[in-house]
Amino acid sequence: METYLVGGAVRDQLLGLPVKDRDHLVVGATPEQMLQLGYSQVGKDFPVFLHPHSQEEYALARTERKQGTGYTGFYCDFSADIRLEDDLLRRDLTVNAIARAENGDLIDPYGGQRDLAAKLLRHVSPAFVEDPLRILRVARFAARFYHLGFKVADETIELMREIAQSGELASLTPERIWRELEKALSSQSPQVFFEVLREADALAALIPELDDLFGVPASPKWHPEIDTGIHTLMVIEQSAKHEYDEVVRFAALCHDFGKALTPEEKLPSHPGHGPKGVKLIKAFCQRIKVPNEYRDLALLVAEHHITIHSALELRPETVLKLFNRCDAWRKPQRFTQILEAGVADIRGRLGFEQNDYPPYDYLLAQLEVANSVNIQAIVQQGFKGEAIREQVHQARLKLIKQEKQRYLQQLEQ
């Protein structure tokens, strides 16, 4: 039996990037032999084993053939006579289909090194179309390696379109879609993930809420880029440039969903688009089983981002109401994330990339001031129940009023 290092580990080594997971391929062995050698089997669907010492994954070489529709409709053959080249042939991209032998030699029958040099993400064989998940994977790799200059090959985009048109995307489970989306959001250029899905005609099936924003105009005064789909991708790009975490990036994706619902006669303004988006975001999150932390932030950002943009003009009562509605008291970190989404929203506009965003500092200063109210002292004064709440409210309001004056005076100086 022979073992090879395969997949992402070889690719990332060749790119000079840190290697996370090391996957190995075993040629010329049976499951029984692996167990005898002390490996333990983990794969349910495929024979995948853990090394007795390193705990790294070792999979038996296999071929796959699509049978019928649906993501699970595969026939797998992992008999001991499957060759290395046969296994590499079933893989998605040439850059993922390079093997490294134990002596260090590279085995690269499908031109992976050539495509690494040309910075091309190219399918290995026409069997690429048998797995609809690959649309998401390729878009995700395009987002991850965009800063290195990688592009998806035209022929591969063609095959991705073929998959999208076949309707097979409908067979992907919500969990798989979410897993790919989350990884894409954490990549260096997440906006590219959505661009590639759109180019492959797959965005409408996967995230129609985003696809619907392309072609929706906004006022050129606030949005020189005009198109709301383009703006949304620019906001996602900004959220990644600022290294905000994936939860904020997801909120950036969803923040303007409501603009697709604006009646024609109101365009290019979008009255009430934030709250209007709430229903769409809830349905989207339910459909692909988005974790609550992501959903909750996206809903708060959609609902309040317009109010937050005008923070310095807000009456103190409105600032207090905003803190209450965002539960900024118990979740100050999440409130900071809401403000981060605000920064990305403003800078994600053509020519606005370096703009200041005063609401960020202002609202954090106001929150700190409002939080300084001594609730214990109010209780000790003998107030009870509702009266405590009212006292706290009034005390916070007073401090917010003072802080607003102080802040505005300081700005004038």
Ligand X SMILES: Nc1ccn([C@@H]2O[C@H](COP(=O)(O)OP(=O)(O)OP(=O)(O)O)[C@@H](O)[C@H]2O)c(=O)n1
Which residues, 6 or more positions from 181, have their beta carbon under 8 angstroms from its beta carbon? 136, 193, 288
CB-nearer residue toward ligand X: 92 or 403 = 92
315 assigned binding-site residue: no
Q: Applying CB under 6 A, which part among 19-27, 204-212, 298-306, 352-360 lies near ligand X?
A: 19-27
Q: How far is the CB of 119 from ligand X (least distance, A)?
A: 16
68 assigned binding-site residue: no
Q: Which of 1, 2, 21, 155 binds ligand X (CB under 6 A)?
A: 21
The C-alpha atoms of residue 288 and residue 278 are separated, in whole angstroms, by: 16
CB-nearer residue toward ligand X: 23 or 56 = 23
Q: Which of 23, 56, 182, 227 binds ligand X (CB under 6 A)?
A: 23
Work out whether 66 is an interface residue with ligand X (CB under 6 A).
no
Q: How far is the CB of 187 from ligand X (least distance, A)?
A: 10
Classify residue 195 by burial, with Cβ atoms within 10 Å: 0-12, 13-18, 19+.
buried
356 assigned binding-site residue: no
Strands 23-27 and 57-60: parallel
Site for ligand X in 109-168 (CB under 6 A): 131, 133-134, 137
DSSP letter for each residue of 349-402: STT-TT---HHHHHHHHHHHHHHTS-HHHHHHTT--HHHHHHHHHHHHHHHHHH
DSSP letter for each residue of 40-77: EE--SSS-EEE-TTT--EEEE--EEEE-SSSTT-EEEE
Q: How far is the CB of 84 from ligand X (least distance, A)?
A: 13
CB-nearer residue toward ligand X: 136 or 320 = 136
The C-alpha atoms of residue 281 and residue 317 are separated, in whole angstroms, by: 28
108 assigned binding-site residue: no
Which residues, 6 or more positions from 92, have their beta carbon under 8 angstroms from its beta carbon? 123, 124, 128, 131, 134, 137, 138
CB-nearer residue toward ligand X: 137 or 331 = 137
CA distances from 217 to 223, 233, 262 (A): 9, 14, 10
Residue 158 corresponds to which tokens in the numbers above? 């063609």
Q: How far is the CB of 134 from ligand X (least distance, A)?
A: 5
- The distance of Cα 46 from the centroid of its chain, to the nearest Å, equals 28
21 assigned binding-site residue: yes
Work out whether 91 is an interface residue with ligand X (CB under 6 A).
yes
Q: Which residue is nearest to ligand X (CB)?
A: 8
Phi/psi region, residue 355 (left: phi>0; alpha: psi -120 to 50; beta: rest), is beta
State the number of binding residues for ligand X (CB under 6 A): 13
CB-nearer residue toward ligand X: 23 or 227 = 23
327 assigned binding-site residue: no
Please report, as a single letter, which amino acid is at residue 84: L
Work out whether 86 is an interface residue with ligand X (CB under 6 A).
no
CB-nearer residue toward ligand X: 176 or 401 = 176
Strands 57-60 and 120-121: unpaired
DSSP letter for each residue of 218-236: --TTT-TT-BHHHHHHHHH
- Peptide bond before 275: cis, by omega within 30 degrees of 0? no
Q: How far is the CB of 96 from ligand X (least distance, A)?
A: 3
Work out whether 8 is an interface residue with ligand X (CB under 6 A).
yes
23 assigned binding-site residue: yes
Work out whether 57 is an interface residue with ligand X (CB under 6 A).
no
Task: Write out the binding residues for Mg(2+).
Answer: 21, 23
Task: Write out the binding residues.
Answer: 8, 11, 21, 23, 91, 137, 140
Q: Given the rule CB under 6 A, which residues bind ligand X?
A: 7-8, 20-21, 23, 91-92, 96-97, 131, 133-134, 137
